[in-house]
Structure 1
Amino acid sequence: MTNVLSHDERLESERIRSRARYRRLLSRLPSIIGTLPMAAVAIGVFVIGISFTVVLSFTNTKLFPDYNLVGGMQYERLWSTARWVESVKHIWFYGFGLITISLVLGYLLAVAMDQRIRGEDAFRTIFLYPFALSAVITGLVWNLMLDPIWGLQAAVRSWGFADFTFAPLADGNTALLGMIVAAVWNGVGVTMAILLAGLRGVDDEIWKAAKIDGIPAWRTYLQIMLPMMRGAIATALILLTVGAVRTFDIVIAMTGGGPGIATQMPATYVIDSINARNVGHGMAAAVCMLIPILALILLQVAFRLRANRRSQAA
């Protein structure tokens, strides 16, 4: 009799769990339906689009798709082209400068905002405002400010300093620096917001413990808070890397890739190749642009899985 009752109880418990799962599924149904369009876009645009790009990079497509595979010919041609090699050097310099300055300046701004200053919302809006502008507008504004005829140089000379010279975009050795300044101005506010969210997500008990131990605030932010914000830093790093790799609009608006090819970027190389009816070659360049982003994302996923395994083991 006991075994029969025990069996009935197990069945009833299973029914209760099934009804609970069903209710949870019903409660999540609206959110699942809401994510379906985004999932369709992700599959249709990203997965299929990237796959199509990879396939075309192994063909000799000129204008219309040509699915006669030619192996790695396009990649061999790509890396033997001086203009592409120069654009890769430029993107490394530009990306390193943009990412480093944005992270450092963004963290300093986040620390300043974390002091609960008066008018925090207004300052946050001011810092985020440049990101609301398109890269084209940003490029045009900074192009005007750095222009030797209409910009800062002309203004300072009008004040009586006739020998003052400041035209970074006109010099191939400094044009990339001018672009880095413009790009940092455009995106540092978002980096600040991400890192500020990471700071605000740290338990207040850590601050109390640091104060009890007599640790200065600057050391707390640098040696305690910063290592605990790996998730926020990784998010900002990926966004900055993606933004740097796909840099196109700001180049066209500020320099057009010049002087000469001093500010030529991989994205402009891809567009120029497609416009020249050499689509297969351009797709090979696009795949090469995609590789560092995928590597960074996979590295982040690996670190998260490793952290999850450690937390489960603990």
Structure 2
Amino acid sequence: MSHADTSRRSRSVDWLRDALPKLVLSPSIVLVAIFVYGFIAFTVYLSFTDSRILPSFGWVGWQNYTNLFRIRAWDTAVTNLAIFGVLYISICCLLGLLLAILLDQKIRAEGFIRTVYLYPMALSFIVTGIAWKWFLDPGIGLEAVVQGWGWESFRFDWIKDSDMAIYTIVIAAVWQTSGFVMAMFLAGLRGIDGEMLKAAQIDGASTFALYRRIVIPQLRPAFMSAFVVLAHMAIKSYDLVIALTNGGPGTATEVPATFMYSYTFTRNQMGIGASSAVIMLMTIAAIIVPYLWSELREKK
């Protein structure tokens, strides 16, 4: 074999080695481009049309967005999301941090306890919603059990109370997710330099001052990650709400995700449903994009 043939064959092998990963990944990239970003673009387009039961191509501009903010149910959904999001994120972060600090004390059976805390995250929100619906039902749940023990004046009917029902969503969501947040904070705690903590203790720092001035400030990346994940889950909290309260009583626990579904597939207002979906997408993007940008900037 001549030197030219050998060189040509070597170039062919190098080209195939470089192109093979792209060829293998290209079908997945095409499918993602079509069924994720393509449908996102189509939803954005529908939000500017007069679509009702089926997609339509009658252009109405910003009319759907104007009508959306005139609907009282949308105002209720946004208010409920604000209440749910603030409480859900705050309580999960606080509880997760406390559990992580507890486990970081090298207690006995740490692995077993950590598994118990993390187990709810292995369940779907549908299972969690149904379980908590039974637990909070006044007829068969906690209220009935406590009254059966003799405390007949005990009342815990939040799930039936339109003013308190949104807080039952918070309870169920915190129960499921706080263990996951604990794992994030625990990983952050285990990454803190122990020599720094020992030096602070030698200098006379109290335990409270140690955590306030050294430990918690170094958990900033864990706090940011937890916030992004929890905010993303709060905005998409459709399945938990449907399983636990189905948006009721009335519209007391309506959130943007359930609003979008009901107006698109139940009330046959696809244009308004698409506009609410676009607003949810922009809200998620407003949370995730700055986070990704800051992470990439730190790596550079």
Matched, 1:190 2:159: no
Q: Which residue among 16, 33, 51 is the counterpart of 1:43?
A: 33
Cα deviation digits, residues 126-179 of structure 1 (max 9, x gap) = 111111111111111111111111011111111112222111101111111111
Identify the residue that residue 270 of structure 2 maps to in structure 1: 279
Per-residue deviation at 1:302?
A: 4.2
Aligned amino acid, residue 190 of structure 2: R
Matched, 1:301 2:295: no
Matched, 1:163 2:161: no
Cα deviation digits, residues 202-240 of structure 1 (max 9, x gap) = 223322332232222332223222222222211111110
1-side partners of 2:31 and 2:109: how far apart? 39
The DSSP-based 3-state class of the residue aligned with 2:219 is helix
Identify the residue that residue 121 of structure 2 maps to in structure 1: 131
Alignment gaps of 5+ in structure 1: 1-21, 310-314
Matched, 1:62 2:52: yes
Q: Which residue among 45, 58, 61 is the counterpart of 1:71?
A: 61
2-side partners of 1:201 and 1:51: how far apart? 41
TM score, norm. by length of structure 1: 0.83
The DSSP-based 3-state class of the residue aligned with 1:253 is helix
Structure 1 pair 37–235 and aligned structure 2 pair: CA distance change class (3 A): farther
Cα deviation digits, residues 12-52 of structure 1 (max 9, x gap) = xxxxxxxxxx9xxx79x87x888767655653443223222
Identify the residue that residue 179 of structure 1 maps to in structure 2: 169
Identify the residue that residue 290 of structure 1 maps to in structure 2: 281
Structure 1 pair 75–36 and aligned structure 2 pair: CA distance change class (3 A): same
The size of the alignment, in residue pairs, is: 286
Identify the residue that residue 221 of structure 2 maps to in structure 1: 231
Aligned amino acid, residue 285 of structure 1: S
Aligned amino acid, residue 173 of structure 2: A
Identify the residue that residue 144 of structure 1 maps to in structure 2: 134
Structure 1 pair 118–45 and aligned structure 2 pair: CA distance change class (3 A): farther
Aligned amino acid, residue 188 of structure 1: S
Cα deviation digits, residues 36-78 of structure 1 (max 9, x gap) = 6765565344322322221111111123322332110100000
Aligned amino acid, residue 295 of structure 1: A
Alignment gaps of 5+ in structure 2: 1-13
Cα deviation digits, residues 238-274 of structure 1 (max 9, x gap) = 1100110011111111111111111011111111011
2-side partners of 1:59 and 1:236: how far apart? 37
- Structure 1 consecutive aligned stretches of length 4 or more whose deviation exceeds 4 Å: 32-42, 305-309
Cα deviation digits, residues 69-112 of structure 1 (max 9, x gap) = 21101000000000111110000001101000000001111111
The DSSP-based 3-state class of the residue aligned with 1:215 is coil
2-side partners of 1:298 and 1:231: how far apart? 15
Q: CA RMSD in A?
A: 2.5
Aligned amino acid, residue 289 of structure 1: M
1-side partners of 2:122 and 2:295: how far apart? 31
Aligned amino acid, residue 71 of structure 1: G
Per-residue deviation at 1:114?
A: 1.3
Identify the residue that residue 252 of structure 1 maps to in structure 2: 242
1-side partners of 2:227 and 2:27: how far apart? 27
1-side partners of 2:42 and 2:99: how far apart? 42
The DSSP-based 3-state class of the residue aligned with 1:219 is helix
Structure 1 pair 118–277 and aligned structure 2 pair: CA distance change class (3 A): same
Structure 1 pair 110–37 and aligned structure 2 pair: CA distance change class (3 A): farther
Instruction: Output aligned runs, 1:187-226, within 5 Å.
Output: 187-226=177-216
Tell me whether 131-140 or 289-298 shows the greater mean CA deviation.
Answer: 289-298
2-side partners of 1:118 and 1:231: how far apart? 28
Per-residue deviation at 1:121?
A: 1.4
Aligned amino acid, residue 299 of structure 1: P
Structure 1 pair 108–89 and aligned structure 2 pair: CA distance change class (3 A): same
2-side partners of 1:193 and 1:75: how far apart? 40
1-side partners of 2:28 and 2:216: how far apart? 33
Aligned amino acid, residue 281 of structure 2: L
1-side partners of 2:31 and 2:178: how far apart? 28
The DSSP-based 3-state class of the residue aligned with 2:65 is helix
